[in-house]
Amino acid sequence: MPGSGAQQARLVVDAGRGREASRLNWLRAGVLGANDGIISTAGLVVGVAGATAAISPILVAGVAGLVAGAVSMALGEYVSVSSQRDAERALIEHERREVEGDPEGELEELTGILESRGLSTATARAVALELSADDPVAAHLDVELGLDPNALTNPVHAAISSGLSFTAGAVLPLVAIGVAPADVRVAVTFVAVLLALAITGGISARLGHARRLRAMARLMVGGALAMIVTYAVGRMLGVSAL
């Protein structure tokens, strides 16, 4: 049919774009997890460093924060993705019942959706028939909802990815404050964290096609404020404890 090949090509392109968008979402989530690890752990170790010059309590607090943060991120992601997956499975089952209960009505609905995207009635009908020939449920899920039943997000994978990205970010301030000399410990950590946030901000902006300098500045200012506030609190608590 005229136009059906072009429409199929367009659907293939749309599916590719969907997979690309999914991949970018995973990358952005990884960058955000790393940012969380960097900022929260940096704030924690700098705050403790404001209260004491002893390295042991600083590292203990930092490691405890890393473990707690990574576990929290992983569990949160697992629950979130599990809820999303349950909702997607419910949509798939609902669509399956509709297709089995009224196949002709669902075919007309699919034809109408394709018509609304610019196809003529005849071409839309031909495309709907061709798409539905193999798996009508998958065709409806793709065209109506942009959902691929064979590509649902795995909550375990999401949890592992989130926990690992947080851990990767949290390691940097821990290493910086652990290896730096005592008299410049906080300053070295401050600089290292800001550089790391500049890099992750640039990556995030590139993935989202946003302004790089603005994204970098936003993260760096936020990270700097977090460390300044926690260091000030640590200093006050350290002095009052004395």
57-66, 69-78, 149-158: least confident range: 149-158
Selection from 70, 34, 68, 74 nearest residue 159 by Cα: 74
Residue 166 · residue 211 · CB < 8 Å? no
23-27, 65-69, 104-108: least confident range: 23-27
Q: Report pLDDT digits (tens) over 12-45.
A: 434 444 455 555 566 767 788 899 999 999 999 9
pLDDT band with cut points at 50, 70 and 90 for residue 61: very high
pLDDT band with cut points at 50, 70 and 90 for residue 192: very high
pLDDT of residue 131: 79
Selection from 56, 47, 52 nearest residue 238 by Cα: 52
Q: Residue 137 corresponds to which amino acid? A: V
Using DSSP's 3-state secondary structure scheme, residue 212 falls into helix
Answer whether residue 1 shows pLDDT above 60. Answer: no
Q: At what angle do helices 103-116 and 55-101 cross, to 10 degrees?
A: 120
Tracing tokens 């964290």 back to the chain, one arrives at 193
**What six digits make up the tokens of 115?**
């018509």
Tracing tokens 């009052």 back to the chain, one arrives at 240
- Identify the helix (H) or strand (E) that includes residue 156: helix 155-179
Answer whether residue 60 shows pLDDT above 70. Answer: yes
CA triplet 95, 98, 103: central angle to 5 degrees? 115
2-6, 112-116, 117-121, 146-150: least confident range: 2-6
Answer whether residue 158 shows pLDDT above 90. Answer: no
pLDDT of residue 3: 44
Burial letters for 88-107: b for 16+ Cβ neighbours within 10 Å, e otherwise?
A: beeebeebbebbeeeeeebb
CA distance 143 to 139: 6
